[in-house]
Chain A
Amino acid sequence: MAVTDWREATVARIRPETPRAATMTLEVPDWHGHRAGQHVDVRLTAEDGYRAQRRYSIASAPEGGAPQITVVEVDGGEVSPWMVSVAREEDRFEVRGPFGGWFVWEPAMLGEVLMIGGGSGLVPLMSMLRAGAPARLLVSARERDDVLYLDELEKRELDVTFTYTRRAPLGWTGYDRRVDYSMLREWAGTPGPRVYVCGPTAFVESVANDLVSLGHEAANIRTERFG
């Protein structure tokens, strides 16, 4: 079976991640693993034959037999509300992939990398972290309740920095604004490491521009933008 063939995936497990996001573990026939950072295409078919197709980043580590995707519900969306609020175990939809060869991390890569994730942009970065990427992570979220994988990020004893753009927890002494030039100057350190930036378009655009202004080489900055 080719990577481009559609396969029927079964939802093996579904777990709420935040009030607006869920992680699904998928049983996919003939699944041969993925590279950290890759995505799958999914296709849902309604009773009347209507079909909708989307792409979702894989959140799990490459060696896991059953890939996991994390979906954040988009207001007015069509597929994400089903994923987050309707789906339950044993539900089925079609999957193909994995795809993508640019926004990936491989164990053979030496050295620390920097990761900057906004909102659902944390998903492919989580796959890299679970794969063992030696990384420093900067997470931008509206509030603490919106941070994906919060428990795991804290348990992993990663070098992780949070910034809350709408509401910081009581007594918070860390960053409480959008990622900006001065935050990146403090956090990113001397240019040199590869930087992965993932999140909404405006977030990625502004972070990548600031990194270039701070002297990071464009060739070291890998971006993935979610509409």
Chain B
Amino acid sequence: MGTTRGFFRRRSGDDERLPPGQYLERGFPVLSAGPTPHVPLDQWDFSITGSLSEERSWTWDEFLALPREDFTVDIHCVTTWTKLDTQWTGVSVDTLLDGVELEGGYLTALCDGGYTTNLPVEDVTGGKAWVVYQYDGEELEPEHGGPARLLVPHLYFWKSAKWVRRLIFTDEDEPGFWEQLGYHDRGDPWLEQRYQGD
């Protein structure tokens, strides 16, 4: 299709690190469907349940005692912003699953507030996903998903579910909140999988 009269580039970007249709954002916008939940840490726990050989659960203190990783990744929101070199601290999903045998091929992340998102197991294992509780060296703010959020940086950011409390492993792929509302089932930003049909 044609060009748009009078439109030109105004922003310099790190093009190779920007997936198609994304722009570089220096702030940290928020996308949420409802209010931010606030759960006291003494009532917080995290669990893995469903189709696996052993269900596990951690209190907040137990979770903090798990081996942690510090890492730097780029994040990509379906609303078209990308933020480069974001720094996080958290627990790899591989660590949570260490010694556990998975029986299904999918999972649903379940969050405070009722939000869900679905993922294939291979998108959260092999060093690709974490449950993070620090951003940029500080405790994760509630509006950004604190006390803890899932982080799956190679997929659009709605897969990195805020306020995550449980990973439910499933035999079948079960569409989550946005996935039932027309968003893409997998959400690979490099393939620009924003909506169903992309």
Where the two chains meet, the residues of A that have a C-beta atom closer than 8 Å to any C-beta of B are 2-4, 6, 8, 41, 43-48, 50-55, 77-79, 81-82, 86-87, 91-94, 99-103, 201, 204-205, 208-209, 211-212, 218-219, 221-223, 225-227
> Complex Cα distance A85/B17, Å?
30
Interface residues on B, range: 35 or more
Chain B, 1-43, CB within 8 A of any chain A CB: 1-11, 21-23, 25, 27, 29-37
Residues of A within 8 A of B81 (CB): 227
> Complex Cα distance A101/B32, Å?
13
The residue of chain A having its C-beta at the shortest distance from the C-beta of B181 within the complex is A101
* Residues of A contacting B: mostly: mixed
The residue of chain B having its C-beta at the shortest distance from the C-beta of A104 within the complex is B181
State whether A78 and B6 are in contact (beta carbons under 8 Å apart), knowing that A209-B35, A225-B32 are contacts in the complex: no
* Distance between B3 CB and nearest chain A CB, rounded to angstroms: 5
Cβ contact within 8 Å between B25 and A227: yes
The residue of chain B having its C-beta at the shortest distance from the C-beta of A197 within the complex is B35
Tell me if B114 is interfacial: C-beta within 8 Å of chain A.
Answer: yes
Cβ contact within 8 Å between B181 and A8: no
> Complex Cα distance A101/B52, Å?
33
- Give which listed residue, B11, B31, B114, B197, contacts A3 with CB less than 8 A: B197
Tell me if B198 is interfacial: C-beta within 8 Å of chain A.
Answer: yes
- Give which listed residue, B8, B29, B182, contacts A50 with CB less than 8 A: B8
Residues of B within 8 A of A53 (CB): 21-23, 80
* Residues of B contacting A: mostly: loop
Cβ contact within 8 Å between B4 and A82: yes
24 A–B contacts from the bound complex (CB under 8 Å): A3-B197, A4-B194, A6-B1, A44-B4, A45-B1, A45-B3, A45-B7, A47-B3, A52-B9, A53-B23, A55-B79, A77-B10, A78-B10, A79-B7, A81-B10, A86-B6, A101-B181, A102-B178, A201-B143, A211-B35, A219-B34, A223-B35, A227-B25, A227-B30
Cβ contact within 8 Å between B29 and A201: yes
Tell me if B60 is interfacial: C-beta within 8 Å of chain A.
Answer: no
- Give which listed residue, A6, A100, A208, contacts B36 with CB less than 8 A: A208
Cβ contact within 8 Å between A223 and B32: yes
Cβ contact within 8 Å between A208 and B198: no
State whether A46 and B7 are in contact (beta carbons under 8 Å apart), knowing that A52-B23, A218-B113 are contacts in the complex: yes
Cβ contact within 8 Å between A46 and B9: yes
Residues of B within 8 A of A47 (CB): 3, 8
The residue of chain A having its C-beta at the shortest distance from the C-beta of B30 within the complex is A201
> Complex Cα distance A46/B8, Å?
5
Cβ contact within 8 Å between A43 and B36: no
> Complex Cα distance A55/B5, Å?
20
Tell me if B190 is interfacial: C-beta within 8 Å of chain A.
Answer: no
> Complex Cα distance A43/B80, Å?
11
> Complex Cα distance A94/B195, Å?
17
- Give which listed residue, B22, B23, B79, contacts A78 with CB less than 8 A: B23
Most A C-beta atoms less than 10 A away, residue of B7, B8, B32: B7
Residues of A within 8 A of B23 (CB): 52-54, 78
The residue of chain A having its C-beta at the shortest distance from the C-beta of B77 within the complex is A227
> Complex Cα distance A211/B35, Å?
9
Cβ contact within 8 Å between B21 and A43: yes
> Complex Cα distance A209/B32, Å?
13
Residues of B within 8 A of A8 (CB): 1-2
Residues of A within 8 A of B198 (CB): 4
Cβ contact within 8 Å between A4 and B195: yes
Residues of B within 8 A of A221 (CB): 34-35
12 further interface pairs, Cβ-Cβ under 8 Å (given A46-B3, A52-B23): A3-B195, A46-B8, A47-B3, A48-B8, A55-B80, A86-B6, A103-B33, A204-B32, A208-B35, A225-B29, A225-B30, A227-B79
